[in-house]
Amino acid sequence: MTPRLDSPKVERGSRESVRVGGRIPVIDLDRLELLLLGAVELRAQGLNGAADRIAPRERALLARLALDVGRVVTVDRLIDDLWGDAPPSGARNTLQVYVSHLRRRLGQEVIRSGAAGYSLALDPSSVDTHEFGRRVAAGAHLVTSGRPGEAVGVFEAALRLWRGDQPLADLGDYEFARVEAARLTQLRAAAVQYLAEALLAIGDDERIVDEVAPLVREFPFRERLRAAVMTAMYRQGRGVEALDMYGEARAFLRDELGLDPGPVLKALHTAILADDPALVAAAPQAQRVVVGALKESVVRLDAADAPPTNLRSQPTALLGRAQELVEVCGLLRDQRSRLVTLTGPGGTGKTRLGFEVAAEVLKDFPGGVYSVELAAVGDPSDVMATVAQTLGVQEGAGRTVEQALRELLRDRRLLLVLDNFEQVIAAAPDVAALLADCQSLSVLVTSRQPLRQHGEQEYPVPPLAVPDQRSLALASTATLAQFEALALFVERAQAVKPSFKITDRNVRAVAEICIRLDGLPLAIELAAVRIKVLPPQAMLERVGQRLRLLTAGARGVTARQQTLRGTIDWSYDLLTASERLLFARLAVFVDGCTLEAAEAVCDADNHIGLEVLDGLASLVDKNLVRQDESPQGEPRFTMLETVREYAEERLVSDPAHAVVRDRHADFFSDLAVKATAFLQSMEGRGWRDKLEVEHGNLRSATEWLLETQRIGPAMDIAIGAWRVWIQRGRLREGAALIERVLAHSDGSEDPKRARALMCLGELYRFQGDFERARATKEAGLPILRQAVPVLAAATLCDLGHIAERQDRLDDARALHQEALDIQIAVGMKGGIIHATTGLARLAVGTGELVRARSLYRQVLEGGRELGDAEFMNEALLGLAEIARREGDRDRSRRLYDEALVLGTEMWDVSMVFDVLAGMASLAVACGQPRTAAHLLGAVDAIAVTTGLVPYFTDQREQCREEVRAVLVAAEYADLLAKGRAMTYDDAVAYALTW
């Protein structure tokens, strides 16, 4: 039964919780929830350890970071929010101490440091305020999409997150908490209103009267809420009570505001008095639900009652942006900040969102909503005059235009929308001064950089949602079509070609186009209009030249919005000469760079003319560069690909272009060489992460090295990165890159070339291409025998694995034994363990389980001694398989679990893949074929995206046949599909809990 709205409870499963203000244990967990809709509270699984008190200001810091979870909050903003106008002299150091204390209690990775400030590294859904806003936005979308029945459950789930009437209840001494509490309370009021309207639409009048009506007194200014309750009362034959409720509203509004009820309530009052039959009809759903059961003619607003505005109606509907719309509207409605700035790179949809927000909040600003276009204003000193001109303000006797503007706005609840502020950014203090003088005024700004004024609330506008690579490979057509970016493409394409629609044949091409366009609305719209002459696949082939392809903008928009190049030109022209040079040189980095890399590469000739860090900070401010945080907690600077393509054109004309590319290639080949020695060890996780993050740069550096005939450093990258390509599932791409490197070499008997052949052979082997793997490794073996015996022995081991997979068991045994003899002779302990692994795996394949167990135990012990994660996982996997074949299911499960945890900790996709496949076989042995089918689906998904083949292939195929034989075909297919649809993390969680 659905809980009553007047007795909310938290919907968070069975997790333990503690008040943050009390004694809390040390938490060493991957999953943590922070609850703010009440007193600040932590929830986590397995709370344990010694108890410590979190000081009040540290609790406030944690809450403040949670309000912007995942986004960097600047140090200045944190100091302002924690201490207000009277911070201590050592506030920055004190803040660092608070962060250090919280990290010790919650884990080092929970709070991340950036160049500008700190961010809370939790999944946003782990913070209840964020989850509440997301659910309200989702419910609103369902209502406006004509699905009120589904919306009811979503709103109820959102309201159950509240644990009392006051969010952040224990932080009332902090202004930011009071403002946020007010905003959240208004959002709760909106959720109650939306819920009432959804209930009205499905005819559940009883619940409205019983459960929602008592909340009208809590939110007395919500006329739509009151209208929904009055309509439900009338439907239940309680028209007199409905009229009494109207009388209460009129008396309240006159006492509080000196106003009569608005047109919605007036129209409803008239309809009730007239017994209008429309009041008993089902409620229509529309973009803006006014009140469920009223005829359009009854609720039509009289133009004289509407607030004044110069907003133009938009020719097309806003697609997506449901959450952004709710959040920005909430900021303006409750005046959490009277200066809200929508920031983002050109083409991200700031102006469109700003106008939609302005239209949505029009009724909240009785003084009016006015848009002020600043694109044509070149002089910042003209901004206030332009605002005055827009509002019709003129100078008079004894007063300037600015004085007259202040007099007009001083007591009016009015919203100004200042569009395209970036080129008049020097006028920001004038806007702040106007807000200081006019306390009822609010300003919504769209700009490519924030205004940096006190009290400003920056709201970065993200690109539209696009599929990730897994979704692109596995998701259905219907699922892909729901992504915001694809929906926009389809709508704009149909505007010029009505017959266009998403099909199974074109959906992935459309999705790939949206991905390559970074989800930028402008870029997607410009691409979609090309559908008249370019089908999706043909368009995809040309989208690499984005700036030339995307040139057909709509008439009636500014010149800079006509093409993607024009909108980036607009930002580029505002840079200083030094910033332009740095911006161009940053294009050499693919998928971003660290500060260290930028400093090493971008100022190669010492001619930039500014500190690289300062330049990066400025470009981040101007939204030409984005700042994120790497897995190691260091700042990482990235560009949207559309922006990077523009910058790359500028880089080509830089006289130091070749020097910059050389420095880039040297930096990343050195990185690969340094990483080589650590990649197998437990301590090598950081190096694996680095090489994975820098994959695009490594590939780009290799291309340049080949172009400039520097084959040696190119091979260094291949030799350093091949293991990560296997561990992270990049087998096909890695193999293609090494093939190119080898094709450029002269074929000489170079040990480095032989090592590259060894690496390429491994990439073939892990894909199951055993014949090519054998030929490749044998080609390099003679050179390694002479030059590097230990690597020759490693190659012999690999050839032994290949021979086993090809059923050449005698050859396999001889190869592993020869490898072991070489490693013993040179005293290489790691090599001895490697060869022992090969003999152990062969013993499992030939049924010698007792010998195999003994050998795997030696491998496990040696791996632990060396700290080698690969050896440890190989041994755990082998021992688990032996236990399964011997019927010891409990032991097999424990070993598989240990291997899965280790593989996950090491972020080794190949390890996890083999464990999931082994667990599927174990599930069959345990009489759980449905579980096995789920796991097999997850294995299939990883195989599709990586090219990996299972460790014990024969047993895995037998497992699949056994599951297919037990289950009905339709059920087997359904379970397999559900397993394939699981994310990587979901598959791991499922495997650990079945």
Q: 975 with 934: CB under 8 angstroms? A: yes
pLDDT score of 591? 84
Nearest to 875 by CA among 851, 890, 892, 859: 859
pLDDT score of 22? 40
Task: For the chain, give the number of residues.
Answer: 994
**How confident is residue 579, by pLDDT bands cut at 50, 70 and 90?**
very high
**pLDDT winner (highest mean) among 198-202, 434-438, 811-815, 906-910:** 811-815
Sign of CA dihedral 219, 223, 226, 232: negative
Q: Are residues 730 and 819 both part of a single domain?
A: yes
**How confident is residue 609, by pLDDT bands cut at 50, 70 and 90?**
confident
Q: Pick 943 or 280 by higher pLDDT.
A: 943
Which of 534, 565, 596 is the last residue in one of the domains?
565
Residue 709 phi, psi (nearest 5): 60, 35
> In the chain, what percentage of residues exceed pLDDT 90?
31
Q: Are residues 11 and 156 both part of a single domain?
A: yes
- Side chain identity at residue 172, one-letter code: G
Give residue 776's Cα distance to chain centre: 40
Residue pLDDT, tens place only, 216-265: 888 887 788 888 899 999 888 888 888 989 888 888 877 765 667 776 78
In a domain, 909, yes or no: yes
Instruction: Give yes or no for residue 284 having a pLDDT over 60.
Output: no
Q: 161 with 131: CB under 8 angstroms? A: yes
- Side chain identity at residue 737, one-letter code: L
Residue pLDDT, tens place only, 160-205: 999 887 899 888 888 888 878 877 887 888 888 889 988 988 888 8
Instruction: Give yes or no for residue 965 having a pLDDT over 60.
Output: yes
CA–CA distances in Å: residue 827 to residues 782, 788, 804, 830, 854 = 21, 14, 26, 9, 21
Beta bridge partners of 51: 25
**How confident is residue 925, by pLDDT bands cut at 50, 70 and 90?**
very high
Q: 333 with 186: CB under 8 angstroms? A: yes
- Side chain identity at residue 576, one-letter code: T
Q: Are residues 805 and 712 both part of a single domain?
A: yes
Q: 174 with 60: CB under 8 angstroms? A: yes
Across all residues in the chain, what is the average pLDDT?
82
pLDDT score of 910? 86
Residue pLDDT, tens place only, 333-388: 877 689 999 998 878 888 889 999 999 888 888 888 999 988 778 788 889 988 98
Instruction: Give yes or no for residue 320 having a pLDDT over 90.
Output: no
| Lowest-pLDDT choice from 289-303, 740-754, 974-988 | 289-303
**How confident is residue 856, by pLDDT bands cut at 50, 70 and 90?**
very high
Our CA dihedral for 956, 911, 840, 837, rounded to 10 degrees, sits at: 150
**How confident is residue 923, by pLDDT bands cut at 50, 70 and 90?**
very high
Q: What is the mean pLDDT of residues 524-544?
A: 82
**How confident is residue 774, by pLDDT bands cut at 50, 70 and 90?**
very high
CA–CA distances in Å: residue 356 to residues 315, 333, 443, 461 = 12, 14, 15, 13
Place of tokens 């195929």: 957
The domain in which residue 130 lies consists of 1-202
Instruction: Give yes or no for residue 545 having a pLDDT over 90.
Output: no
Instruction: Give yes or no for residue 704 having a pLDDT over 60.
Output: yes
User: Cα separation of 387 and 444, whole Å?
Assistant: 13
Q: Are residues 444 and 339 both part of a single domain?
A: yes
Instruction: Give yes or no for residue 63 having a pLDDT over 50.
Output: yes
Quick check: helix, strand or coil at residue 444?
strand
Domain of residue 756, CATH code: 1.25.40.10
Q: Pick 634 or 36 by higher pLDDT.
A: 36
Q: Are residues 329 and 286 both part of a single domain?
A: no
Q: Are residues 808 and 940 both part of a single domain?
A: no
Q: What is the mean pLDDT of residues 124-132?
A: 87
In a domain, 349, yes or no: yes
Sign of CA dihedral 63, 67, 70, 74: negative
Structure tokens at 21: 């203000």
Q: Are residues 282 and 161 both part of a single domain?
A: no
Structure tokens at 600: 């090493």
Which of 436, 460, 484 is the last residue in one of the domains?
460
Cβ count near 413 (within 10 Å)? 16
Please give the DSSP secondary-structure letter assigned to residue 681.
Answer: B
In a domain, 414, yes or no: yes
Q: Are residues 876 and 946 both part of a single domain?
A: no
pLDDT score of 836? 95
Instruction: Give yes or no for residue 846 having a pLDDT over 50.
Output: yes
In a domain, 587, yes or no: yes
In a domain, 157, yes or no: yes
Domain of residue 385, CATH code: 3.40.50.300
**How confident is residue 608, by pLDDT bands cut at 50, 70 and 90?**
confident
Q: Pick 421 or 983 by higher pLDDT.
A: 421
Q: Are residues 416 and 276 both part of a single domain?
A: no
Residue pLDDT, tens place only, 496-522: 888 999 999 999 999 998 988 888 888
In a domain, 933, yes or no: yes
Count up the domains in the chain and report the number. Answer: 7
Which of 407, 430, 460 is the last residue in one of the domains?
460
Q: Are residues 262 and 163 both part of a single domain?
A: no
**How confident is residue 319, by pLDDT bands cut at 50, 70 and 90?**
confident
| Lowest-pLDDT choice from 388-397, 551-560, 793-802, 812-821 | 551-560
Q: Pick 84 or 90 by higher pLDDT.
A: 84
Residue pLDDT, tens place only, 796-816: 999 999 998 898 999 999 999
CA–CA distances in Å: residue 885 to residues 848, 871, 892 = 11, 21, 9
Please give the DSSP secondary-structure letter assigned to residue 9.
Answer: -
CA–CA distances in Å: residue 431 to residues 345, 382, 453 = 22, 12, 9
In a domain, 897, yes or no: no
| Lowest-pLDDT choice from 548-562, 781-795, 861-875, 888-902 | 548-562
Q: 142 with 11: CB under 8 angstroms? A: no
pLDDT score of 341? 95
Q: Are residues 710 and 785 both part of a single domain?
A: yes
Instruction: Give yes or no for residue 1 having a pLDDT over 50.
Output: no
User: Cα separation of 471 and 490, whole Å?
Assistant: 18
Instruction: Give yes or no for residue 850 having a pLDDT over 90.
Output: yes
Domain of residue 593, CATH code: 1.10.10.10
pLDDT score of 144? 64
Instruction: Give yes or no for residue 611 having a pLDDT over 80.
Output: yes
Which helix (H) or strand (E) element contains residue 931? helix 929-946
| Lowest-pLDDT choice from 433-442, 467-476, 571-580, 784-793 | 467-476
Q: Pick 314 or 833 by higher pLDDT.
A: 833
51-53 and 111-113 strand pairing: unpaired
Q: Are residues 790 and 716 both part of a single domain?
A: yes
Q: Pick 632 or 937 by higher pLDDT.
A: 937
In a domain, 664, yes or no: no
pLDDT score of 28? 43
